[in-house]
Amino acid sequence: MPDLDTALATITRFAERPPIARPPDEDVARRARSLRRKRRIRRSSAAALVVVVGVAGVAVGLRAGGDDGARSVVSDTPPTTRTVEPGEFLDEVIDIIEAEAYDADPDWVAGWREQAVAVAATARTAGETYRFIEGMRGMVGPGPTIVSPPPVQHQADDRTAPSPAPTSEVVGDVGFLTLPPIPSGATSESGTAYIAIAHDLLDADVCGWIVDLRVPEPVRSASDLGTMLSAVAPLLGPGTTVGYRDRTGATTTWDIGEDGAVSFGEEEVAPGSDEAMGPDLPVAVLQRWSTSGTWEALLMALRGEPDVRTFGLPSGGRSTGTETFTLSDGSLLVLRTSLPVDRNGTGYDGPIAPDEQVAPRGTRTDPQREAAAAWLATQPSCR
Amino acid sequence: MDVVDFASWYRREHPRLASTLVVVAGDVGTAAEAADEAFARAYERWDRVGVMASPGGWAYRTALNVLHRRRRRARLEAVLLRRHGGGGKLDSFAVPADWSPEVWDALRSLPIRERTAVALRYVADLPTQAIAEAMGVAPGTVGSTLHAARRNLAAALGDELAVPEIELTPRCEEEPSDA
């Protein structure tokens, strides 16, 4: 029988004689693809899947560049449902949170794992653990949010659905632009039309623009950030607009190229065109609490520009970079995985205050718009 | 920080991680699955994992989480097997080829927590802080767990006098210091 020192020396040499052969590199890649298929909803710029659900009183839009964050991802395949053992399900969720959540704290995760054992012991189905999972809210940012049963999904149909379109009016020398939600990607039929209409409107002979990002309350549906950035590219000009920083510090940015093409990281999501570039004009942006999600990302993109001033009330503070993961029971886990940052790398983790706070007053006047118009009137191009 | 090349990292890290997991799991098949999953997850997220100060630390923690999950599932299966008249023993603990049967038997007698600490210290060759992070415990807990593990290992080997009462943590001097 070896003594302790000999045994420890023997254990140390176990690594030199691994009893498991190393699988070929390509097996790792294959398994990673399989894991991804199993767990994660793939990002798809072309998919026009729109899901709007109410969870804890908060409407959440899920899709590429969805309302709850410009990095939301969507599925182009319907989820499947199956019965899952509650303990296994909770392990799966906590594994994802630990690996992906922007705010995952190791101490909290360890605590959840302990609590999960007790929860799993009494739960009969995975669904009975949802409340526990949503109880983690506040400790990992604005999530996690779990969506189940798998939501009713419908493919947005470009042939039958009315295509949303930007609108504008010109009062004096000032243009007033409103941007409805556009769930479709920039290369889809309705997305392309949306962008073309916006560029046509922004070609008007004006001395400055008021961009209204005060989303009407009923309009809480998803919108594609790539499409919207491409639509207002003539106002933004080339350069980085907004980015999302994950917990390792890596930032992926939305950029506009010299030709007006919009890209997210390495991926071009909207092609460039002559119309995508416009003259440098002053821009007044209207915001309020409902300026949230994609509109808040647009607000961040515009704020970084020179000759831009914002008016109204603090924004909603919900432009979190969320990702959506499919779980083994077919439900969806929405998790904050990144923090929005402006072009200077400044992170935003709450409402964005306007340059000039202007409260609404009654229903017949729009003091925020009036304040914006008054500022534009002082700008060199409008004098 | 430069991104480490995944392929070279994988080839370098696999033998040690795999051996470590075999000691922790006490089962080659389970360890192989956990290792495969940990490396696949690392591959999937290599743009983030590759720039970490210690991609290996991330891989160990991930693999241990996978093992933890599988052990819980195995326990449940064992309960179900017993309920239906089966033996309910799932851990094979077969001695891996080329490994000392005496040492293997002594290791299998340790509680899982102590076996994990021993594996991370002596097979993975991780410093205390990294072991603490992989196990999700405080560094002080690693020291006391290793002390208990050496005492129990010595007892299993019949070497009762091998571990002093006061923990000397002889390998701690290898760890980097800010001083």
With pLDDT > 70 as the criterion, what percentage of chain A qualifies? Answer: 76
- Per residue in A292-310, pLDDT (tens digit) is 888 899 999 998 788 999 9
- Per residue in B85-134, pLDDT (tens digit) is 554 444 445 677 678 888 888 888 888 889 999 999 999 999 998 888 88
Nearest to B48 among A8, A28, A250 (CB): A250
pLDDT of residue A51: 27
Cα B58–B28–B67 angle (5° rounding)? 40
pLDDT at A77 over 80: no
Contact A179, A198 (CB under 8 A): yes
- Per residue in A41-52, pLDDT (tens digit) is 323 222 222 222
Q: What is the mean pLDDT of chain B?
A: 77
pLDDT of residue B81: 56
pLDDT at A217 over 80: no
Nearest to A91 among B72, B100, B154 (CB): B72
pLDDT of residue A132: 84
pLDDT at A74 over 80: no
With pLDDT > 90 as the criterion, what percentage of chain B qualifies? Answer: 18
> What are residue A320's phi and psi, to 5 degrees?
-80, 150
pLDDT of residue A66: 39
Band (pLDDT 50/70/90 cuts) for residue A227 is: very high
Q: Which residue type does A249 have?
A: G
pLDDT of residue B178: 37
- Whole-Å CA distances, A7 to A2, B53, B155: 6, 32, 12
> Residues B61-75: what's their mean pLDDT?
74
- Per residue in A6-38, pLDDT (tens digit) is 888 888 888 888 888 888 888 888 777 766 655
pLDDT of residue B78: 58
Chain A contact present for B154, CB below 8 A: yes
How far apart CA A308 and CA B39 sit, in angstroms, is: 48
Q: What is the mean pLDDT of chain A?
A: 77
> Which of B41, B62, B67, B163 is the best residue to mutate to test the A interface, defined by the most A CB atoms within 10 Å of its own CB?
B41
pTM assigned to the model: 0.53
- The interface predicted TM-score of the complex, written ipTM, equals 0.79
> Residues A226-236: what's their mean pLDDT?
93
B58: Cα within 13 Å, side-chain hemisphere: 21
SS3 labels along chain B:
CCCCCHHHHHHHHHHHHHHHHHHHHCCHHHHHHHHHHHHHHHHHCHHHHCCCCCHHHHHHHHHHHHHHHHHHHHHHHHHHHHHCCCCCCCCCCCCCCCCCHHHHHHHHCCCHHHHHHHHHHHHCCCCHHHHHHHHCCCHHHHHHHHHHHHHHHHHHHCCCCCCCCCCCCCCHHHCCCCC
**Cα B19 vs. chain centroid, distance in angstroms?**
8
User: Which residues in chain A touch residue B70, judged by CB atoms under 8 angstroms apart?
Assistant: none
pLDDT of residue B173: 37
pLDDT of residue A146: 66
User: Which residues in chain A touch residue B41, judged by CB atoms under 8 angstroms apart?
Assistant: 32, 35, 99
In this predicted model, which residue has the larger pLDDT, A190 or A74? Answer: A190
Are B62 and A99 a contacting pair at CB < 8 A?
yes
User: Which residues in chain A touch residue B52, judged by CB atoms under 8 angstroms apart?
Assistant: 248
pLDDT of residue A57: 27
pLDDT of residue B80: 56
A44-48, A78-82, A238-242, A362-366: least confident range: A44-48
State which residue of chain B sits closest to A91, comparing Cα positions. Answer: B69
Chain A contact present for B15, CB below 8 A: yes
State which residue of chain A sits closest to B68, comparing Cα positions. Answer: A91
Tokens 């009137």 appear where? A377
> Residues B152-163: what's their mean pLDDT?
79
Tokens 């439900």 appear where? A331
If 0-12 CB within 10 Å is exposed, 13-18 middle and 19+ buried, where does residue A82 land? exposed
User: Which residues in chain A touch residue B28, judged by CB atoms under 8 angstroms apart?
Assistant: 19-20
How far apart CA B14 and CA A187 sit, in angstroms, is: 43
User: Which residues in chain A touch residue B124, judged by CB atoms under 8 angstroms apart?
Assistant: 15
Q: Which two tokens stand for residue A295?
A: 């509109």
Are A8 and B28 a contacting pair at CB < 8 A?
no
pLDDT at A231 over 80: yes
In this predicted model, which residue has the larger pLDDT, A21 or B176? Answer: A21
Interface of B with A in 18-47 (CB under 8 A): 18-20, 22-23, 28, 31-32, 35-37, 39-41, 43-45, 47
If 0-12 CB within 10 Å is exposed, 13-18 middle and 19+ buried, where does residue A321 land? buried
- Whole-Å CA distances, A86 to A313, A330, A360, B5, B70: 44, 13, 49, 38, 14
- Per residue in A312-344, pLDDT (tens digit) is 999 988 767 777 787 888 788 878 888 888 888
SS3 A12: helix
Helix (H) and strand (E) counts in chain A: 10, 16
Shortest CA distance to A190 belongs to which of A380, A349, A20, A50?
Answer: A50
- Per residue in A106-126, pLDDT (tens digit) is 777 888 888 888 888 888 888
